[in-house]
Amino acid sequence: MPKRAIHEHYGDPREVLRILDVPAEQPGPGEVIIRMEAAAMHIADLRTLSGAEGFRYPLPRTPGYEGIGRVIRVGEGVTSIRVGERVFPALGSGTFREEVRCSAQGCMPAPEGDAQQLSLLTVNGPTAWVLLEDFARLSTGDWLIQNAANSSCGRYVVQLAKQRGLRTINIVRRIDLFDELKSLGADIVLLDGPDLAKRVAAEIGSAPIRLGIDAVAGSATQRIAECLAADSPLVCYGAMSGEPCNIDFYLMFRQGIVLHGISFVRQFRHRTPAQVRQMYAELAAQMASGSLIARIAGVFPLERIHEACDLAARTGNERDGKVIITFGE
């Protein structure tokens, strides 16, 4: 019988998350059953398990936002996908289980390649893509600045920006990250701190920085804003500090800095379905070829999901990369 993670109550993952043997999934009309190969674990999964504000769903449920696998059964009326094809399940399908049932229409074709890298396609990849495309008109040689540059999304930003001829200033909290980020294509890597704007200016002189990207919030938002050219957007896609964005009104008033929140799903509303699929296809091809890579901190079989949650909850050099769940044959 296939195994499945079941989230029954809100609280500590070791107390509210169980692995159960369940009957094989059967597809309804328009649905497919996917035998999972790998699934990515996100901070959002941990917040859902604990019942954090904004992350409460009807229980019981199976967590897991994204992953990759092969179709093993198809339902009535499904003609676009055949048994044996590799696919990305529809986003939010509950991928921490060996067999996922979801809409065939919501699935996307997946290439051959490293399942662990490809399991990260549907969240961090498109977030990095829309950060670079949707908020500023950037041209070859333009500068952008981001903090949390060693996050999975931050690493994707570095690599995608390099491909587009953009130059990046990357802010981190540990000096041991400098060489790795530069090997990915980072132009400048600096430690965060109260004199950040002064040190950035020392590196690039009067060159304008056209886009700011913030994943930390709190006082870090202000430090990124102080580096930006007038009338530049500052986009916040995370709150690693656990605090609200803190930015001085008079800085926004004088410089015309605009603070944006982002949801890549919301940004998709400005694209046609064909454009979204094309974006995913390009990202998937790069991941499959190894030209777009994420750092992986740990890989765990489904039966060790509690250990995976423990690692995913760590920060800094205690967890440098993503956590991946894998599934047996």
CATH code of residue 227: 3.40.50.720
Q: Would residue 136 count as lying in a domain?
A: yes
pLDDT tens, 20-29? 999 999 999 9
Which residue shows structure tokens 């190969």?
37
Give the Cβ contact number of residue 296 at 10 Å.
18
Query: For residue 87, what pLDDT is reported?
Result: 96
pLDDT band of 251, cuts 50, 70, 90? very high
Query: For residue 329, what pLDDT is reported?
Result: 62
* Phi, psi at 306, each rounded to 5°: -65, -40
Torsion 165-171-176-177 (CA) sign:
negative
Q: Would residue 306 count as lying in a domain?
A: yes
Same-domain status, 73 and 36: yes
Q: Residue 211 pLDDT > 70, yes or no?
A: yes
pLDDT tens, 259-278? 999 988 899 999 998 999 99
CA distance 140 to 202: 22
Determine the average pLDDT of the residues in 223-236.
97
User: By the 8 A CB rule, do 86 and 32 touch?
Assistant: no
Structural domains counted in the chain: 2
Domain boundaries, position 156: 127-265
Q: Residue 182 pLDDT > 90, yes or no?
A: yes
CA distance 290 to 113: 9
Same-domain status, 210 and 311: no
Q: Residue 53 pLDDT > 90, yes or no?
A: no
Same-domain status, 221 and 199: yes
Q: Residue 287 pLDDT > 90, yes or no?
A: yes
pLDDT tens, 94-138? 999 999 999 999 999 999 999 999 999 988 999 999 999 999 999
Same-domain status, 51 and 34: yes
CA distance 242 to 263: 18
Q: Would residue 88 count as lying in a domain?
A: yes
Percent of the chain's residues with pLDDT above 70: 99
Q: Residue 224 pLDDT > 80, yes or no?
A: yes
Which residue shows structure tokens 């790069």?
286
pLDDT band of 314, cuts 50, 70, 90? confident
Give the Cβ contact number of residue 281 at 10 Å.
14
Same-domain status, 153 and 261: yes
- Look over the chain and give the mean of its residue pLDDT values, rounded to a whole number: 94
CA distance 327 to 21: 13
Same-domain status, 34 and 133: no
Query: For residue 55, what pLDDT is reported?
Result: 87
What pTM did the predictor assign? 0.90
Q: Would residue 42 count as lying in a domain?
A: yes
CA distance 239 to 52: 14
Q: Would residue 10 count as lying in a domain?
A: yes
Q: Would residue 238 count as lying in a domain?
A: yes
Q: Would residue 270 count as lying in a domain?
A: no
Determine the average pLDDT of the residues in 238-259.
92
Residues in the chain: 329
Same-domain status, 144 and 218: yes
pLDDT band of 187, cuts 50, 70, 90? very high
Contacts of 157 (CB under 8 A, 6+ apart): 128, 131, 132, 144, 146, 149, 168, 213
Which residue shows structure tokens 């398990």?
49
pLDDT band of 239, cuts 50, 70, 90? confident
Query: For residue 120, what pLDDT is reported?
Result: 93
Query: For residue 320, what pLDDT is reported?
Result: 78
Determine the average pLDDT of the residues in 296-308.
95
- 319: domain CATH number is 3.90.180.10
CA distance 125 to 153: 7
